[in-house]
Amino acid sequence: WTPIEETGKFQEHHIYIVKDKDGKEISREVVDGDVKGGTSKMTYTTGKKDKDGFKFVETQDPKENPSYDKDGKETTGKFVPGKKQEITYVYEKVEVPSEPEKPTEPEVPSEPEKPTEPEVPSEPEVPSEPEKPSEPEKPSEPEVPSEPEKPSEPEKPSEPEAPTPEVQTASVLPQTGENDDKLVYSVASLSILAGLGLLAARRKKEEF
């Protein structure tokens, strides 16, 4: 059976102090480092941790005889079984107030511009007289319809010509010449009458 060896612990602290020009403390910030542990055969490392604007001043409050450097240089120490070693590093910063800036002289206001005189409104234009409407054209008189032409009288039909009587030839007896003479006279008279009838019909037709 192997006994378990007791371990020791170590922790460092960093204090950042801000002072005014008279040395009066304005603010303080405390940063605690991680707690480290180990046996007597193991070691730890410690030293200052600079911060922008701060200056290392001193170490304070060592507990259980830790290993450290007064100027804050990095140092190696051994753990002490059953004990917690501690060391504190202190930093300071003097805050010098900046001189207030001189107020700039106020600008001399420029003279205000004179307002321009308002323009005189132009006289309104006289409206032109409206044009007289043109007189409407008189409607043209309707054309008088022409009288319809009288229908021409129908032509009277021509009278039918009198039929020429058929001349019956009488048989002439060979014994006498009387029948031949009568026949000649009757044919001649019929021809004359027929000619007169045709002439009269033509005259009537011409009169119409």
Predicted confidence at residue 104, as pLDDT, reads 76
Residue 28 reports pLDDT greater than 70: yes
What pLDDT was estimated at residue 174? 47
Residue 206 lies in a domain: yes
Residue where a domain terminates, one of 47, 65, 94: 94
Q: Within a domain: residue 154? A: no
Which structural domain, as residue segments, surrounds residue 40?
Answer: 8-94
Range with the poorest average pLDDT among 33-37, 80-84, 189-193: 189-193
> Minimal CA–CA distance to 77: which of 4, 160, 69, 142?
69
* H or E stretch covering 190: helix 178-207
Residue 12 lies in a domain: yes
Domain assignment present for 106? no
* Tally of CA atoms within 13 A in the half-sphere of 193 that contains its CB: 10
Q: Are 44 and 15 in contact (CB under 8 A)?
A: no
pTM across the whole model? 0.47
Give the Cα separation of 162 and 65 in Å (integer): 191
Query: 46-79, pLDDT tens digit by residue?
Result: 999 999 999 999 999 999 999 999 999 999 999 9
**Domains held by the chain: number:** 2
Euclidean distance between CA atoms 28 and 95, whole angstroms: 13
Residues in the chain: 208
* CATH code for the domain of 36: 3.10.20
Residue 203 lies in a domain: yes
